[in-house]
């Protein structure tokens, strides 16, 4: 199975559960409103950091739904409540470090860029691994990192999709986030499920 197959398969799975997927995207977008308000108001960095936690929590719930959809199951609204607080804090911390570093300039900007790239590269895989394998917290982060190392080309595909989706969401003042977030998460879950099946098959033969 190649990256095109998993990407197109994830997009098809997303389309089959479109109404609930859009609901997941809307919940995530609404959770990000306090952060957007804090940025616009120029609030202190510590307060900005706190406002990154709600959208991160919403992302873990949306990932749980995406995991079910990617495996051919039915999306359930109750899955949005299946949040992972530890993973959410890790994602929020990465986003905060990236934002503060980039705004600070100088050497800190390089650190922020590295944090941002790492978040976009490993974040979708960590969310998807947690949803598909039922792992939570640091175990999901570890599993996502292993998948990135195992098949970096696929991870960069998700990276590119996340970047393009982020640009589209920003350009549309957040409107397209309702579509982009669940779509990328479903593709990530489909890709992760395929990679895990491949790894399991290799381990079974050894």
Question: What Cα–Cα distance (Å) separates residue 36 from each residue in 70, 112, 155?
Answer: 30, 19, 28
CA 3, 13, 141, 58 torsion-angle sign? positive
Q: How many angstroms separate the CA atoms of 100 and 98, rounded?
A: 6
Helix, strand, or coil here: 76?
coil
Q: What is the pLDDT of residue 203?
A: 81
Q: What is the pLDDT of residue 7?
A: 85
How does pLDDT run across 54-109, given as a tens digit for each residue? Answer: 999 999 999 999 988 887 777 788 889 999 999 999 999 988 888 888 777 777 78
- Residue 166: what pLDDT? 82
Ramachandran region of residue 173, left (φ > 0), alpha (ψ -120 to 50) or beta?
A: left
What pLDDT score does 1 carry? 63
pLDDT tens, N- to C-terminus, the chain (206 residues): 677 788 888 888 888 888 999 999 999 999 999 988 888 888 788 888 899 999 999 999 999 999 888 877 777 888 899 999 999 999 999 888 888 887 777 777 888 888 888 888 889 999 999 999 889 999 999 999 999 999 888 888 888 888 888 888 888 877 888 999 999 999 999 999 999 988 888 888 87
Tell me the CA distances in angstroms from 182 to 24, 65, 68, 109, 168, one per residue in order.
7, 9, 12, 30, 14
pLDDT for the residue 92 = 93
Q: What residues contact residue 164 under an 8 Å CB cut-off, 6+ apart?
A: none
- CA angle 176/178/183 to nearest 5° reads 95
Q: Would you state the pLDDT for residue 104? A: 77
């Amino acid at each position: 199975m190649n990256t095109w197959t998993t990407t197109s398969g994830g997009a098809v799975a997303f389309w089959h559960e479109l109404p609930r997927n859009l609901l997941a995207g809307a919940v995530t977008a609404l959770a990000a409103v306090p952060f957007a308000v804090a940025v616009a108001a120029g609030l202190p960095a510590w307060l900005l950091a706190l406002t990154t936690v709600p959208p991160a929590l919403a992302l873990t719930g949306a990932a749980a739904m995406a995991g079910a959809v990617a495996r051919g199951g039915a999306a359930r609204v109750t899955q949005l409540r299946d949040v992972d607080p530890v993973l959410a804090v890790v994602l929020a911390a990465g986003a905060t470090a990236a934002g503060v570093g980039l705004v600070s300039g100088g050497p800190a900007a390089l650190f922020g860029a590295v944090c941002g790239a790492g978040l976009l590269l490993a974040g979708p895989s960590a969310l998807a691994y947690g949803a598909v394998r039922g792992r939570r917290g640091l175990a999901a982060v570890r599993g996502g990192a292993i998948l990135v190392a195992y098949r970096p080309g696929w991870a960069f595909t998700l990276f590119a999709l996340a970047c393009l989706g982020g640009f589209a969401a920003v350009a549309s003042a957040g409107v397209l986030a309702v579509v982009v977030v669940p779509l990328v998460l479903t593709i990530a879950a489909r890709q992760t499920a395929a990679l895990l099946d491949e790894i399991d098959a290799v381990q079974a033969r050894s």
